[in-house]
Amino acid sequence: MKVQWQVIVGIIIAILIVIFGTTNMGTIDVQLMFWTVKWPLIIVILGSMVAGMLMVFCFNYYRTRKRKKSTKATVK
């Protein structure tokens, strides 16, 4: 049941981000160290969202591995 709520909340957040991104279709200047590029705002928003999702995935993966390792050590 917990996973179903996470999926529903994730879908709602994704829909809100897409709506927010499509209403802000202007271009912005993004400074990458020595370069300045013009990108659509939707790309910046979606890129930030993907980067955040990857960080959460990595932290959860690390926490799960650590928990499994400690459980395995306790069982022995």
Which tokens is 23 given? 């209403």
**Residue 7, token pair as written in the block:** 């999926």
The first and second tokens of residue 8, run together, are 């529903």
pLDDT tens digits for range 3-13: 788 889 889 98
> In total, how many domains does the chain have?
1
DSSP state of 40: E
- Domain containing residue 60: 2-74
The SS3 call for residue 54 is: helix
* pLDDT surpasses 70 at 47: yes
Residue 40, C-beta contacts closer than 8 angstroms, at least 6 positions apart = 25, 26, 27, 28
Axis crossing angle, helix 41-75 with helix 2-23, rounded to the nearest 10: 160
**Claim: this prediction has a pTM higher than 0.85:** no
